[in-house]
Chain A
Amino acid sequence: MSVVAFVSSNITFGNQGTFGGTGQLSNLWMGTTNVSLQTIYTARIYPRGPALGANLSTFRSSKWRVIRLNSNDYAKGNVSFTYPITISSAGNPVGDNYTFSNLDYAYVTITATPTYPYTFQRWETLTPLPAGTNISSTASTNLYFTDWTGYYTVKAIFA
């Protein structure tokens, strides 16, 4: 078996969310258990971690877009991605562990779900600056890959 070397050092494939942690690389090589390469290829939703972002920054800046959803108050409402995959985590920000490829999806849909008796007010930016820019007053709305160039954080406002 041959081995392809990307660079000489600082290769970290660990900390990849749900796909097996530091065992991921050996899984990709050996194809013995929890083979995720086919899963990644098929779903085209890419697990991401801080080390991956740091080491493969070229991918992030040219083809990869990373977004994070926040709520101003999780007791009043939660946030989720609903397209091209449904990702939710009640009481927490969403999106840190995934990357969407614009080669397959032109946009993602984000959805804010208020907790009764509170109501959704708007989506606004945290980054890029200026923070607080109103994006949409619709609870379920699209973000296009042309909307951001790197890490993009938006916040749902509930009241």
Chain B
Amino acid sequence: MAIQINQEIETINKGIVTNPYLRIEAYRIDKILGYFLVTTAMFRDKADADTNKFVYHEDYAQPIDRAPQTGPIATLITYNDSSFEYPVVIEFPLVVPEVVTEDIYEDQEVTKTITYNDFDENGDIVEKTRVETTIEKVKTGTHEVTKSKIDITLIGADPYGWAYSKLKTHYEGIFGAGNVIDC
């Protein structure tokens, strides 16, 4: 599962690449903030990508003995005469719109009569009152607002397929619809 981009790009470390190959290298579901995060990398082609992964844990344990890897395409690329960093970490919100009713509060002056104890000239306790005006938040009504409710069930039973579908749409926004295909 990966994505091929049928557009030519100019790269820093791999020259002109005619059909970049994009894969997801890590997935993370943030259940608290409601995001699906993917870490991506772009390669010259599938063969190039395949040389940048491992079969066994032991394969990367010793850096000196490790088979050389050339890494992904540098993130700074040139496409259509403009240079930019292709997105590496992408967050997809896991939310659904929900209309909720919220209270409306306004600042209002509120006058209160305060009762307090004082002493008269004989030293006896007497009850007195004073009027105080304060600013308080007062509920004046309600209104409906649309909020983004966190819902991780959006992912469904196939988180990998869901993520690639979202990634494809994201990259279509950069390279154009029809230029990003599943492979």
Is the beta-carbon distance between A135 and B12 smaller than 8 angstroms? no
A residues near B70, Cβ cutoff 8 Å = 138, 140-142
Q: A106-B26, A141-B68, A141-B69 are in contact. Are A83 and B52 (CB under 8 A)?
A: no
From known contacts A83-B75, A109-B72, infer whether A135 and B88 are also in contact, taking CB-CB under 8 Å: no
Number of contacting residues on B, CB 8 A? 26
Q: Which residues of A contact B25 (CB under 8 A)?
A: 106
Residues of chain A contacted by B177 (CB below 8 angstroms): none
Nearest-neighbor residue (CB-CB) of B37 within chain A: A104
- On chain B, the residues within 8 Å of A104 by CB distance are 26, 37, 39, 89
What is the CA–CA distance of A113 and B85 in the complex, to the nearest angstrom? 19
Q: How far is the CB of B93 from chain A (nearest CB, A)?
A: 13
Give the chain B neighbours of A113 by CB distance below 8 A: 12
Check B63–A105 contact: CB distance below 8 A.
no
For window 1-60 of chain B, which residues contact chain A by CB distance below 8 Å? 12-14, 25-26, 37, 39, 41, 52, 60
Q: Which of A43, A138, A142 has the most CB of B within 10 A?
A: A142
Least Cβ–Cβ distance between B34 and chain A, in angstroms:
14
How many Å lie between the Cα of A82 and that of B69 in the bound state? 13
Contact A42 B74 (CB under 8 A): no
Residue numbers in B under 8 Å from A136 (CB-CB)? 68
Tell me the minimal C-beta distance from B28 to chain A in angstroms: 8
Q: Which of A65-112 contact B (CB under 8 A)?
A: 80, 82-86, 104-107, 109-111
Please determine whether A143 and B63 come into contact, CB atoms closer than 8 angstroms.
yes
**Per-residue B-contact encoding for A18-47, CB less than 8 Å = 1, 0 else:** 000000000000000000000000111000
The answer to whether A42 and B69 have CB atoms under 8 Å apart is no
Is there contact, CB below 8 Å, between A86 and B74? yes
Which residues of the other chain, B, contact A146 by a CB distance below 8 angstroms?
A: 60-61
Instruction: Provide the residues of chain A in CB contact with B91, threshold 8 Å.
Output: 42
Q: Mark A124-159, 1 if CB is under 8 A from B, else 0.
A: 000000000111111111111011000000000000
Tell me which residues across on chain A come within 8 A of B26, comparing CB atoms: 104-106
Contact B39 A105 (CB under 8 A): yes
B131: interface (CB < 8 Å): no
- Having A82-B12, A86-B74, A140-B13, one finds 19 other A-B pairs with CB under 8 Å, namely A44-B89, A80-B12, A82-B13, A82-B72, A83-B88, A85-B75, A86-B12, A104-B37, A106-B25, A109-B72, A110-B71, A111-B13, A111-B74, A138-B69, A140-B70, A142-B69, A144-B60, A144-B63, A146-B61
Residues of B within 8 A of A (CB): 12-14, 25-26, 37, 39, 41, 52, 60-61, 63-64, 68-76, 85, 88-89, 91
30 CB contacts below 8 A, A to B, read A80-B74, A82-B12, A82-B71, A83-B72, A83-B74, A83-B75, A83-B88, A86-B12, A86-B74, A86-B85, A104-B26, A104-B37, A104-B89, A105-B88, A106-B26, A109-B13, A109-B74, A110-B71, A113-B12, A135-B64, A136-B68, A139-B13, A140-B14, A141-B69, A141-B70, A141-B71, A142-B69, A143-B63, A144-B63, A147-B63
